[in-house]
Amino acid sequence: MSLKNTRDRWGAVSQSFHWLIVLLILGLAIVGLTMDELPRTPKYFWVYTAHKSMGVTVLALMLLRLAWRLYAGAPAPVPGTPRWQAAIASGTHWALYALALAMPLSGWLYDSASGLRPFRYFGLFDVPKLTGPDERLADRAHDAHELLFLVLVALVALHAGAALYHHLFRRDDTLARMLPARRARSLPRQDPDHVA
Residues making contact with ligand HEM (CB under 6 A) = 14, 18, 22, 25, 28-29, 32-33, 36, 51-52, 55-56, 58, 69, 75, 89, 93, 96-97, 100, 103-104, 107-108, 110-111, 145-146, 149, 156, 159-160, 163-164, 174-175, 177-178
Smallest gap, in angstroms, from Cβ of residue 188 to ligand HEM?
22
Q: What's the distance, Cα to Cα, between the start and end of the chain in Å?
A: 32
DSSP run (H or E) holding 84: helix 83-113
The maximal CA–CA distance of the chain, rounded, in angstroms, is 76
* Closer residue to ligand HEM in complex, CB, 29/151: 29
Smallest gap, in angstroms, from Cβ of residue 32 to ligand HEM?
3
Nearest to 164, CA basis, from 179, 180, 178, 175: 175
Number of neighbours of residue 183 by Cβ within 10 angstroms: 12
Smallest gap, in angstroms, from Cβ of residue 196 to ligand HEM?
33
Q: How far is CA 180 from the centre of its chain?
A: 18
* Closer residue to ligand HEM in complex, CB, 22/192: 22
Smallest gap, in angstroms, from Cβ of residue 190 to ligand HEM?
25
Distance CA 115, CA 187 (A): 59
* Closer residue to ligand HEM in complex, CB, 141/188: 141
Distance CA 145, CA 140 (A): 9
* Closer residue to ligand HEM in complex, CB, 36/193: 36
* Closer residue to ligand HEM in complex, CB, 7/194: 7
Beta strands in the chain (DSSP E): none
